[in-house]
């Protein structure tokens, strides 16, 4: 039997994929409401394909709030590891480890999926008389199940524990599974997300340069990426999600003298502040933010730039309404736009591309400002328009 501790965006899909593969799986979570929902045959959140997977896997899956670890041969930890004071907050992970120490009798395979500071698994190995391995997830909301199945995976640990973990993941993973030591696997995980954060910071800085140079950064990036060894990312109003704004700090925690990583975080955080400056300079008092999810076409709001923008604007005394049909399907766009002087496109939801922007601009009150934070729309002629990196429109 396999026990999965933590039934969130990663833990629940992992548990269900294992159950569908024929493993008996017990999901453990501290949230009674979530456990009750699952045991009623309902899902606590939406993800493409998850409903069908739940139906196929539920005969081998059950959820509980109790630490039922006695019968488990394998325990997988999928608890969150948030950031606190720019360091990993290990409180949820430590609680899971204490639960294992107290309730898991006999030698078991313990696998950590949570993103951690490099070196964490080796430290935990000193506390546990179990085989311990580290296997970070590689998945993105909106495409989680496909990526969990087909992406390559890395497993770190001793040769024995890593092989045992590979046997578990091989029941559903079709990508290549590479074995290494735990610290290398931990660092690879945070390095992957740090690479993307640093690349976005470069794109954001190039966007600001393009504005000064009077050119279009999106055309620049398109042309530069024709080079076979160049892959510039896209600029925007900020970086969100549970990985990119957080994981880079786990590397700085190990090496406080790091220079590039903190600078990249500063650049990406500055993009949201820049939007606030634009709105205050324009003397805007009422703003509608379109999109509170951190990425397109999902309902996940963790660390979203839209939320941060709302907070910063309200600190300036600006009234903010938010419209996001994926996060709150009951909202009405018309109500969100009432008395708005400006709109900020914060999330590139597909639904926003199909709106009649000339009509929307006509409903705005002066100064009629549209800030396109995701390069989504053609500038309407009846409103002021600012697009990040659109120096050609100055």
Positions marked active-site: 189, 243
Q: Could you tell me which of 59, 25, 55 has the C-alpha nearest to residue 43? A: 55
The answer to whether residues 187 and 118 touch, using CB atoms and an 8 Å cutoff, is yes
CB under 8 Å to 183, separation ≥6 — which residues?
118, 119, 121, 122, 156
**How does DSSP assign 103-164, residue by residue?**
H--S--EEEE-S---TTHHHHHHTT-SSEEEE------TTSHHHHHHHS-EEEEE-HHHHHH
SS (H, E, C) 39-86: HCCCCCCCCCCHHHHHHHHHHHEEEECCCCCCCCCEEEECCCCCEECC
DSSP state of 291: -
Determine the 3-state secondary structure of 287 from DSSP.
Answer: strand
Place of tokens 């800085």: 205
Q: Which helix (H) or strand (E) holds 177?
A: strand 177-180
Task: Read off φ and ψ for residue 41, nearest 5 degrees.
Answer: 85, 20
- Tell me the torsion sign for CA atoms 11, 16, 21, 26: positive
Pair 313, 320: CB distance under 8 Å: yes
């Amino acid at each position: 039997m396999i026990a999965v501790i933590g039934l969130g965006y990663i833990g629940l899909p992992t548990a269900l994929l294992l159950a569908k593969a024929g493993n008996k799986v017990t999901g453990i979570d501290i949230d009674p409401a979530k456990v009750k929902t699952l045991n009623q045959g309902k899902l606590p959140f939406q993800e493409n394909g998850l409903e069908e997977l739940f139906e196929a896997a539920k005969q081998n899956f059950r959820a509980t709030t109790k630490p039922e670890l006695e019968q488990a041969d394998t325990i997988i930890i999928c608890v969150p590891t948030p950031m606190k004071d720019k360091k990993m907050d290990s409180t949820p992970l430590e609680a899971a480890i204490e639960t294992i120490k107290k309730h898991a009798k006999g030698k078991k395979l313990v696998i950590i999926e949570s993103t951690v500071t490099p070196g964490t698994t080796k430290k935990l190995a000193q506390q546990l008389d179990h085989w311990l391995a580290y296997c970070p997830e590689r998945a993105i909301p909106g495409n989680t199940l496909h990526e969990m199945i087909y992406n390559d995976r890395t497993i770190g640990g001793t040769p024995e524990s890593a092989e045992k973990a590979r046997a578990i993941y091989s029941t559903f993973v079709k990508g290549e599974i590479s074995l290494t030591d735990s610290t290398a696997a931990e660092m690879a995980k945070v390095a992957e997300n740090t690479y993307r954060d640093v690349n976005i910071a470069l794109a954001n800085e190039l966007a600001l340069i393009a504005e000064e140079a009077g050119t279009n950064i999106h055309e620049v990036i398109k042309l530069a990426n024709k080079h076979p060894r160049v892959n510039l990312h896209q600029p925007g109003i900020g970086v969100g999600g549970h990985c990119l704004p957080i994981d880079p700090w786990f590397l700085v925690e190990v090496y406080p003298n790091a220079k590039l990583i903190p600078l990249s975080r500063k650049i990406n955080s500055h993009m949201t502040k820049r939007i606030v400056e634009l709105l205050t300079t324009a003397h805007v008092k009422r703003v509608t933010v379109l999109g509170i999810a951190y990425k397109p076409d999902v309902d996940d709001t963790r660390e979203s730039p839209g939320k941060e923008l709302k907070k910063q604007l309200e600190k300036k005394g600006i009234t903010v309404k938010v419209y996001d049909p994926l996060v709150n399907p009951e909202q009405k766009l018309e109500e969100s736009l009432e008395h708005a002087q400006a709109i900020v496109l914060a999330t590139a939801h597909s639904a926003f591309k199909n709106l009649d922007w000339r009509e929307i601009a006509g409903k705005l009150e002066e100064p009629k400002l549209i800030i396109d934070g995701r390069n989504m729309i053609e500038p309407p002629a009846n409103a002021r328009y600012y697009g990040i990196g659109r120096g050609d429109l100055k």
